[in-house]
Amino acid sequence: MKVRFENVSLNYDKQKEVLHNLNFEIPNGKLTCLLGPSGCGKSTTLNLISGLLLPSAGKIYFDKQDVTKKDALDRRVGMVFQNYALYPHMTVLENICFPLKMAKVKKKDQLKRAQELAKLVHISNELDKHPGELSGGQQQRVAIARSLAKSPSILLLDEPLSNLDARLRVEMRDEIRKIQVATGVTTVFVTHDQDEAMHIADKIMILDTGEVQQYTTPNKIYDRPSNLFVAKFIGNPEVNVIPLADLKSEFASFIPNDILKNAVSLIVRPESIVSADSTQKLLPVNFQGKLLSASRFGKETAVRMNFQGETILATAILQEKLEQKSESIHFRLKTTGVFLSDQAGKIIWSADGERIVNDD
């Protein structure tokens, strides 16, 4: 089921606008992530898709059908909540069967379907237990099975992994991906964890202050953020943002003047800062920074230096360079992960040479 938003806005109590004029399309059979900091409107967007909330303006389509006025039941969505929202007084089996029972499916068919789903999510041995007796991961599996029971038009997951511990989160993340691929159900996954989104999604929509910041594939978002917010939000550790004013002359040789004229900040991913003698593809500029600290955490290195009055972080400067204990570090920039942004934060130039186009 394809989902399309057409000029959708939402305001609570006719005052505060929570979502501003959203236009996007969620592709059929794919897993799409809604990603953003808390309060950005991602859960609200999900609730608009589900029909639990109705938009103040605009239209929502499922394929060709206008569902703007339809409630969650009519839209046939399946939903999984952060706290799982299992019915505590029912057994696992009863929980999975519940949507079928409400749809007046025959008892025999209910059981057959429930067993199928239990097998899919690996909880066949827990069917007689109550949710309270299950671990968080198992409860999540039950919630997914229940949401799939009715063969939903679209599966909506609202921060489904946030209540799990780190290891289980990775395990369930892959599990959800597997289930999604196995069933081919169109899935929308809300999260604030960029790492989660990068690993699981076919497409990521980044939201902030009720507006879509960028909507494309995970790698494209990483390689070509459309603005400073996206560049900062995606990637760990965070990008370095350096005022460009005093550096313009260094870049003048290879950046068109009309771009350079509007550029305000240089944005550099920490792994794009390398030693001056690196043999990788590099930009034709040479910089020098003052070493502040250098540390190694297993496979990672973190070099902090003072450059143009800013403290910047580099994670790809080789260990042996640091052992020379020199005060100043010569470094260069790779041709990936280096961007220029204008006054408004829009990224207007990317070092990998291609034109910046915000498409999908």
Partner 1 sequence: MDKQKISRLLEYLILIFGGILMLIPFLWMLDTALKSGSEAMTIPPVIIPKKLQWMNFVLAWHAAPFLRYFINSVIVTVITTCGQLLTTILAAYAFAKLEFYGKKIVFMICLTTMMVPGEMLIIPNFITLSKFHMINTYYALIIPWLASFFAVFTLRQTFMSIPDEIYYSAKIDGAGDWYFLWHMLVPLAKPTIIALAALEIINSWNSFMWPLIVTNSDKMRTLPVGLSNFTTDAGTQFQLLMAASTIIIIPMLLVYIFLQKYIIAGVSRSGLKG
Interface with partner 1 (CB under 8 A): 50, 52, 71-73, 77-79, 81-89, 98-99, 102-103, 130-133, 146, 150
Looking at the Cβ atoms of 101 and 330, the one nearer to partner 1 is: 101
| Phi and psi based region of residue 261 (left: phi greater than 0; alpha: psi -120 to 50; beta: remaining) | alpha
Looking at the Cβ atoms of 54 and 103, the one nearer to partner 1 is: 103
Q: Distances in Å between the alpha carbon of 84 and those of 28, 48, 195, 258, 325?
A: 25, 19, 22, 53, 53
Residue 78 exposure: Cα atoms within 13 Å on the Cβ side: 23
Looking at the Cβ atoms of 98 and 215, the one nearer to partner 1 is: 98
Looking at the Cβ atoms of 102 and 252, the one nearer to partner 1 is: 102
Q: What DSSP element (H or E) covers 146? A: helix 136-148
Amino acid at 77: V
Looking at the Cβ atoms of 23 and 151, the one nearer to partner 1 is: 151
φ and ψ at residue 208, rounded to 5 degrees:
-150, 140
Give the residue carrying structure tokens 């489904």: 160
Cα(347)–Cα(259) distance, integer angstroms: 10
Looking at the Cβ atoms of 126 and 208, the one nearer to partner 1 is: 126
Instruction: State the minimum distance, in angstroms, from the CB of residue 188 to partner 1.
Output: 14
Cα(187)–Cα(125) distance, integer angstroms: 27
| DSSP bridge partners of 214 | 206
